[in-house]
Amino acid sequence: MPMTLKCDLRQAARCDGTAKPIDLVHLSTQTMGDRALEAEVLGMFLDHSGTYLDNWRGAAGPSLRKQAAHTLKGAARSIGAWELAELAQDAEAEGFDDDGALEREMARVCAYARELR
């Protein structure tokens, strides 16, 4: 039940426009409240964000495309970028055709991460 409530809250925040690209509570939990570590983790995500997208775009075949999306999903979840992770999860399935949405959300997450650092 608690996971459903958390999901419902995220959905409500999306609908009313208050959703942030990165869940700061999750990020803080992952880094045990260490602000310097948060900045380092965000920096690593930013450093690798281009590679995640390049691997996605350049994947030769469904298997490699799924692997690239899976890697992006894990990276997004590690920092609490839930919307990006959900898009990456959708992108793991064959037939996903909304590359633009994935790229726009990655840009939104990266811009927010830069602001936080």
Domain count, the chain: 1
What's the domain range around 51? 2-116
More confident residue, 8 or 24: 24
H-only helix segments in 17-98? 24-30, 35-58, 62-79, 82-91
How far is residue 23's CA from residue 77's CA, in Å, rounded to a whole number? 10
CATH code: domain of residue 49: 1.20.120.160
pLDDT digits (tens, 9 = 90+) for 11-20: 555 555 457 9
Q: How far is CA 15 from CA 8, 19, 99, 101, 103, in A?
A: 11, 8, 22, 17, 20
How far is residue 113's CA from residue 70's CA, in Å, rounded to a whole number? 21
pTM: 0.85
Please give the pLDDT value at position 117.
Answer: 83
Of 65, 110, 61, 60, which is closest to residue 91 (Cα–Cα)? 65
